[in-house]
Amino acid sequence: MVDDPQIAELNWTYLNRKGPTNVIAFPMQEGRFSDVTPDLLGDVVISAETAQREGEVAGVGFKVRFLYLLVHGVLHLFGYDHEMDEAEAARMENKSDELIDMIGALE
Protein backbone atom coordinates (compact mmCIF):
# COMPACT_ATOMS: atom_id res chain seq x y z
CA MET A 1 0.00 0.00 0.00
CA VAL A 2 1.43 3.34 -1.07
CA ASP A 3 0.33 6.94 -1.60
CA ASP A 4 -0.32 8.68 -4.94
CA PRO A 5 3.21 10.10 -5.42
CA GLN A 6 4.73 6.66 -4.80
CA ILE A 7 2.45 4.84 -7.23
CA ALA A 8 2.91 7.62 -9.80
CA GLU A 9 6.65 7.01 -9.63
CA LEU A 10 6.16 3.26 -10.12
CA ASN A 11 3.70 3.92 -12.92
CA TRP A 12 6.24 6.07 -14.75
CA THR A 13 9.30 3.91 -14.03
CA TYR A 14 7.80 0.56 -14.96
CA LEU A 15 4.85 1.33 -17.26
CA ASN A 16 5.96 4.65 -18.78
CA ARG A 17 2.62 6.20 -17.78
CA LYS A 18 2.25 9.59 -16.11
CA GLY A 19 0.39 10.17 -12.88
CA PRO A 20 -1.01 7.98 -10.16
CA THR A 21 -3.09 4.89 -10.81
CA ASN A 22 -5.10 2.72 -8.44
CA VAL A 23 -3.23 -0.62 -8.70
CA ILE A 24 -0.14 -2.06 -10.38
CA ALA A 25 0.74 -5.74 -10.46
CA PHE A 26 4.32 -6.95 -10.82
CA PRO A 27 4.33 -10.62 -11.86
CA MET A 28 7.34 -12.61 -10.74
CA GLN A 29 6.68 -15.81 -12.68
CA GLU A 30 7.69 -14.37 -16.02
CA GLY A 31 10.75 -12.66 -17.37
CA ARG A 32 14.47 -13.00 -16.86
CA PHE A 33 14.44 -13.73 -13.14
CA SER A 34 11.33 -15.89 -12.90
CA ASP A 35 13.38 -18.83 -11.63
CA VAL A 36 14.60 -16.90 -8.55
CA THR A 37 11.32 -17.32 -6.65
CA PRO A 38 9.20 -19.78 -8.67
CA ASP A 39 6.55 -20.09 -5.94
CA LEU A 40 6.03 -16.33 -5.60
CA LEU A 41 3.24 -14.99 -7.79
CA GLY A 42 4.30 -11.35 -7.61
CA ASP A 43 3.53 -8.03 -5.96
CA VAL A 44 0.37 -5.96 -6.00
CA VAL A 45 0.80 -2.28 -5.22
CA ILE A 46 -2.31 -0.25 -4.37
CA SER A 47 -2.57 3.50 -3.87
CA ALA A 48 -4.53 4.01 -0.67
CA GLU A 49 -5.28 7.62 -1.67
CA THR A 50 -6.73 6.64 -5.02
CA ALA A 51 -8.66 3.74 -3.48
CA GLN A 52 -10.16 6.14 -0.94
CA ARG A 53 -11.21 8.64 -3.63
CA GLU A 54 -12.63 5.96 -5.91
CA GLY A 55 -14.49 4.33 -3.03
CA GLU A 56 -16.09 7.64 -2.09
CA VAL A 57 -17.07 8.41 -5.70
CA ALA A 58 -18.57 4.92 -6.13
CA GLY A 59 -20.33 5.15 -2.77
CA VAL A 60 -18.72 1.94 -1.50
CA GLY A 61 -16.01 3.28 0.79
CA PHE A 62 -12.34 2.46 1.14
CA LYS A 63 -12.59 -1.15 2.35
CA VAL A 64 -14.74 -2.39 -0.54
CA ARG A 65 -12.75 -0.51 -3.16
CA PHE A 66 -9.45 -1.75 -1.71
CA LEU A 67 -10.67 -5.36 -1.81
CA TYR A 68 -11.76 -4.98 -5.41
CA LEU A 69 -8.35 -3.53 -6.37
CA LEU A 70 -6.54 -6.33 -4.55
CA VAL A 71 -8.54 -8.99 -6.41
CA HIS A 72 -7.98 -7.08 -9.65
CA GLY A 73 -4.22 -6.97 -9.07
CA VAL A 74 -4.03 -10.66 -8.20
CA LEU A 75 -5.93 -11.52 -11.39
CA HIS A 76 -3.30 -9.60 -13.34
CA LEU A 77 -0.68 -11.81 -11.69
CA PHE A 78 -2.58 -14.82 -13.01
CA GLY A 79 -2.46 -13.40 -16.54
CA TYR A 80 -5.81 -11.65 -16.85
CA ASP A 81 -5.58 -8.43 -18.85
CA HIS A 82 -8.52 -6.08 -19.36
CA GLU A 83 -6.56 -3.83 -21.73
CA MET A 84 -6.32 -6.37 -24.58
CA ASP A 85 -9.94 -6.37 -25.72
CA GLU A 86 -13.52 -6.12 -24.51
CA ALA A 87 -14.03 -9.88 -24.26
CA GLU A 88 -10.96 -10.25 -22.04
CA ALA A 89 -12.11 -7.28 -19.95
CA ALA A 90 -15.51 -8.93 -19.44
CA ARG A 91 -13.81 -12.23 -18.53
CA MET A 92 -11.68 -10.45 -15.94
CA GLU A 93 -14.66 -8.57 -14.50
CA ASN A 94 -16.68 -11.80 -14.21
CA LYS A 95 -13.79 -13.53 -12.43
CA SER A 96 -13.42 -10.54 -10.09
CA ASP A 97 -17.11 -10.70 -9.20
CA GLU A 98 -16.89 -14.47 -8.69
CA LEU A 99 -13.90 -14.17 -6.35
CA ILE A 100 -15.39 -11.30 -4.37
CA ASP A 101 -18.60 -13.31 -3.96
CA MET A 102 -16.54 -16.28 -2.76
CA ILE A 103 -14.73 -14.10 -0.24
CA GLY A 104 -18.06 -12.77 0.96
CA ALA A 105 -16.47 -9.64 2.38
CA LEU A 106 -18.79 -7.21 0.65
CA GLU A 107 -21.92 -8.24 2.49
Q: State how far the Cα of 93 lies from the Cα of 97, in Å rounded to an integer.
A: 6
* Residue 25 main-chain phi, psi, to 5 deg: -110, 135
The hierarchical CATH code for the domain 4-103 is: 3.40.390.30
Tell me, what's the pLDDT at 13? 97
Under-50 pLDDT residues of the chain: none
Tell me, what's the pLDDT at 63? 92
Tell me, what's the pLDDT at 106? 57
Q: State how far the Cα of 13 lies from the Cα of 106, in Å rounded to an integer.
A: 34
Digit-coded pLDDT (tens) for 83-101: 878 988 999 999 999 999 8
Tell me, what's the pLDDT at 7? 98
Q: Do the Cβ atoms of 20 and 47 come closer than 8 Å?
A: yes
Question: pTM surpassing 0.85?
Answer: yes
